[in-house]
Chain A
């Protein structure tokens, strides 16, 4: 069982928006602003999409946005495109003993 809880799957049609949630506790997501999101296509390495809750690395489309409320972080993808179909993982700092926890991953299907 992963430390952070994500829905197993979400789906949306091209052009629509989807939001993926990532629920933790006050010891990880809720306690720090160090949530990051990774996109992983089949057989490929994860790719950084969002860091520090809501910052986008250079080259990541502004269709991807992140936010946090309490112990839940969210990744929103607007204007869905076929190439967005992938697995998405959240990650959070979890204090100076555990350090890093990942979510179980969410499979995004573009209908």
Chain B
């Protein structure tokens, strides 16, 4: 059974960089796309971006200028960095596995999710 676990600071100051890591257990990070999705308190889901285990990435155009997603296959982990954060970036951040054919990123679905971690942006 694949399990995902987010980790990182729960409080980030405005204008700083939010950094989170997702550790994948129960399966290899290889041969799948991995994603970050967030949910502001009381609101809906917003896709942030994907990374393939090879390192190729695709980002939500609305966040692209501030987002970096990276992967460490040796640790079975992938990470999110979101720069220049504001209060609007306060949300529960989820990592998830995306199932789609190679080269067909996005043409699929999210089958495994982490439990989510709340990140609050405040001074």
Contacts and interface: CB of A to CB of B under 8 A. Distances in A.
B7 to A, nearest CB: 15
Given A34-B107, A99-B106, 8 more contacts: A46-B113, A91-B45, A96-B106, A98-B60, A99-B47, A99-B105, A102-B44, A105-B44
Interface string A52-94: 1000010000000000000000000000000000000101011
B54 to A, nearest CB: 17
A34 B44 CA distance: 19
A97 B115 contact: no
Contacts of A99: 47, 50, 58, 60, 105-106
Interface residues on A, range: 20 to 34
B47 A57 contact: no
Nearest to B62: A98
Given A32-B107, A91-B109, A93-B107, A103 B115 contact: no
Nearest to A52: B109
Interface residues of B, number: 21
Contacts, number: 61
Interface of A: 2, 32, 34, 36, 38, 44-48, 51-52, 57, 89, 91, 93-94, 96-105
28 contacts: A32-B107, A34-B109, A38-B45, A38-B110, A45-B94, A45-B113, A45-B114, A45-B115, A45-B116, A46-B45, A46-B94, A47-B113, A48-B109, A52-B109, A89-B44, A91-B109, A93-B108, A94-B106, A98-B61, A99-B58, A99-B106, A100-B47, A100-B60, A100-B106, A101-B47, A102-B44, A102-B46, A105-B44
